[in-house]
Amino acid sequence: MTTTRRRLTGVAGIAAFAVALAACTSAPADDTAEAGGVKIAAEQSVGAMDDFKAGTTFKATEPVTFSLMYRDHPGYPVKDDWSIFQHLADDHNVTFSRTDIPMSDFDQKKSLLIGSGEASDIISVSYSGTETKFVSGGAILPVSDYLDYMPNFQEKVEKWDLQDELDNRRQADGKIYLLPGLRETPNVEYSVAIREDLWEKAGITEDPKTWDEFAEQLAEVQKANPELAYAMSDRWTDSTPLGSLLNVMAPNYGTAAGWQYNNTWYDEDSEKYVFTGTTDEYRDLITDVSDLVSDGLLDPEITQSDDQAVQKFISGQSAAISGNTQTLTEYRTKFADAGQPDVPIRLISIPAGPAGSNLASGRFTSGLMISSEAAEKPYFKALLQYIDWLYYSDEGIEFAQWGVEGETFTKDADGTRKLMDDIGWSAVNAGAPKKLNADFGYSNGVFLPANGSSKELLLSLMTDEVADWTEKQLESKKQLPVAPAPLLDEIELEQTSLLQTQLTDAVHAATAAFITGQRSIDSDWDAYVTEIEGLGSGQLIDTFNTALERAKSK
């Protein structure tokens, strides 16, 4: 896999940040505390280790209790007696005062608590961009002021060449307010799952090399299996039409679509932002998917529920459906429950497109924010050390993902880990009576941001099938470059907020209409572009490009 690297020069604060990252991470963090950040006073150092450095196991020098805004996942509801809580308390002197919020309400209630000044020390499972609206109110800590106290974070950023991407997370004041999960490799999980038996009946044994070839294969599968209602009927469509499929296809068309659709697309040639939903690349993508529907290969019910789509797949009405590395187990289990335990299913390798064979830019995942009030707490320095150890050290990430050696897993002399026979996670030991997350609290997004970690750890908790598929994608594709951040100021953010929402809604609605044939791409595209311009696409792009030029000139 090739990683394309770009540096955005002139962003406020980059020079100071570079000094911080250049500091020797093998030395205790305090040795560099005044090089580029804010010095933490002794009054805020209760429980902190004096010799904390990259690779050091964190253990508070006395018991500390941090407040935690906890996203409670319905798949593994939080339990006070989880192993992860017990070991953090016994082995690291850390306990929590939790505010448990159901996953379905998490984003809304998180915003309410932060806005009302009731934010916890640690605000878990936060995605890029969600911090922006809290910056002006001062409720969120500018963590970039304190990176000198996070040697593991600095080491990973340098080792994995993530500084440019981190610089792009700066706000207009030049500071960073959200600590992202870090990945050594891009995230690749989603593709299309197919029934190999129906593909083989059509004489097809190889994955399609391109999306055009995928369309040809669907036609052959439909012809060879006339009992199919459609060769493909898709899931993950009810919130964003064809959200997963368009998202997987888009990087190889040179655009963004589906789940990761964004109104602004950085054009490498002009070095300016353009409006994504009206580009030729976006039109080409929508045209090809529309052709699948008009040719009778893709189910036009592109806003159906997951249950409807999966049922069509299991009942033999379709031969393909969007999937990921975890849903393979779901599909196989449902086939077995339906009395068909031997139906062969696999994820196809992601096909290439007109723009090449690519993976979307970015190696950051969901992360966390810290309340600005935490900086006044007696244990503030210990809090930073704990976060740095758990989320960014090799030892901490292994603990958060696998648990405790001898309790939840074993490790061979060569370092190979294996879950205990009675513990399962996803497809690993799928039939085990206990689950690593539900019964122990590990592999939990609150403590392990979207499995953000090293490639070795990422692959370690996968079946051989999934690990092989993942490695194939990583080795055969190029990661797209990260677009430079325009660094909108507070007024510009307010001006564009409403524009962003109404434009995104309009693009999604038109996309669905074009794909299903309710609107003709050939005859209605120009009218659609005019509609989008009338909603303010030009104003949005002008604002972004003005901010981008301002950032470059600093």
SS (H, E, C) 430-496: CCCCEECCCCCCCCCCCCCHHHCCCHHHHHHCCCHHHHHHHHHHHHHCEECCCCCCCCCCHHHHHHH
Q: Would you call 411 helix, strand, or coil by DSSP?
A: strand
- For residues 219, 220, 224 and 227, what is the CA-based torsion angle, rounded to 10 degrees? -20
Dist. CA 202–CA 200, nearest whole Å? 5
Output the pLDDT for position 402. Answer: 96
Dist. CA 262–CA 277, nearest whole Å? 8
Output the pLDDT for position 330. Answer: 92
* Residues in CB range of 159: below 8 A, 6 or more apart: none
Task: Output the six-digit token pair for 346.
Answer: 């696999």
Q: How many CB atoms lie within 10 A of CB 35?
A: 12
Mean pLDDT by 10 residues, the chain (554 residues): 32 35 43 62 97 97 98 96 98 98 93 94 90 88 96 96 89 91 91 98 97 98 98 92 96 95 94 97 98 98 95 98 93 95 96 96 90 97 98 96 97 93 90 96 91 84 91 93 85 87 96 97 98 97 94 76
Domains and CATH numbers, the chain: 2-186+363-404 (3.40.190.10), 190-359 (3.40.190.10)
Task: Output the six-digit token pair for 469.
Answer: 């598929």
Residue 90: burial class (beta carbons within 10 Å; 0-12, 13-18, 19+): exposed
Output the pLDDT for position 36. Answer: 52
Dist. CA 46–CA 192, nearest whole Å? 52
Task: Tell which residue, 532, 499, 502, has the closest CA to residue 514.
Answer: 532
Going by the DSSP 8-state scheme, the letter that residue 389 receives in this structure is H
Amino acid occupying residue 411: K
* CA terminus-to-terminus distance, the chain: 34
Name the packing angle between helices 521-534 and 537-553 (round to 10°): 60
Task: Output the six-digit token pair for 231.
Answer: 């060769």
- Distance of CA 114 to CAs 121, 137, 140, 218, 381, Å? 11, 10, 8, 49, 21
Output the pLDDT for position 187. Answer: 86
Within 13 A of 265's CA, how many CA atoms are on the CB side? 22
- Distance of CA 10 to CAs 128, 238, 340, 403, 548, Å? 22, 42, 60, 43, 11
320-324 and 190-195 as β-strands: parallel, antiparallel, unpaired?
antiparallel
Contact 148, 32 (CB under 8 A): yes
Within 13 A of 464's CA, how many CA atoms are on the CB side? 1
Q: Would you call 149 helix, strand, or coil by DSSP?
A: helix
Dist. CA 543–CA 150, nearest whole Å? 35
- pTM for the whole thing? 0.83
Dist. CA 383–CA 366, nearest whole Å? 19
Dist. CA 177–CA 308, nearest whole Å? 41
Contact 390, 400 (CB under 8 A): yes
